[in-house]
Homo-oligomer: A and B are copies of this chain.
Amino acid sequence: MSLNVYLSGEIHTAWREEIIAGAQANGLDIQFTSAVTDHDASDAAGDHLGVETDSFWRDHKSAKVNAIRTKTMLEQADLAIIRFGEKYKQWNAAFDAGYCAAMGTPYITLHAEDITHPLKEVDAAAMAWATTTTQVVDTLKYVMKK
Contact = CB atoms under 8 A, between A and B. Distances in A.
Q: For A3, A64, A144, which residue has the most chain B Cβ atoms within 10 angstroms?
A: A64
A106 B59 contact: no
A145 to B, nearest CB: 5
A139 B68 contact: yes
A123 to B, nearest CB: 7
A55 interface: yes
Interface string A126-144: 0111110001001100111
Contact of A123 (B1, B59, B90): B59
A57 B59 CA distance: 13
Contacts of A21: none
Given A50-B131, A64-B127, A92-B122, 6 more contacts: A1-B33, A3-B72, A36-B145, A65-B139, A68-B139, A95-B95
19 contacts: A1-B69, A3-B72, A41-B142, A48-B142, A54-B57, A55-B117, A56-B113, A59-B116, A60-B124, A61-B128, A65-B128, A67-B124, A69-B145, A71-B106, A91-B93, A91-B118, A91-B122, A98-B99, A99-B101
